[in-house]
Amino acid sequence: MTQKVKHETRIHLDDVKGLGHFVELEVVLTDDETVEDGQKIAADIMEKLGINKEDLLDCAYMDLLKNLS
């Protein structure tokens, strides 16, 4: 399921068999917004959703699934 919130940010709610539930934020920047602006937008949304930086992953679901086997 995908829901638009603000600043053209999409929130993806994923249920991955064998791994669990995940949230992905996709911040789409305008031409006049910087990467730092996008990071601030994401941090604000994460705070509102109660997501901690320690919970972030920097790999794909497939990588996590490979590590399980």
Sorting pLDDT into bands at 50, 70 and 90, what band is 7?
Answer: low
CB-based burial label for 33 (10 Å; 0-12, 13-18, 19+):
middle
Whether the CB-CB separation of 13 and 1 falls below 8 Å is answered with yes
Q: Write down the pLDDT at residue 3.
A: 55
pTM confidence score: 0.75
Please state, as a whole number, how many other Cβ atoms lie within 10 Å of the Cβ of residue 27: 19
Residue 32 is predicted with a pLDDT of 92
| String of DSSP letters for 49-62 | HT--GGG---S-HH
At 16-30, the pLDDT tens digits run 999 999 999 999 999
pLDDT in tens, 34-65: 999 999 999 999 999 999 999 999 999 999 99
Separation of alpha carbons 30 and 17, rounded Å: 35
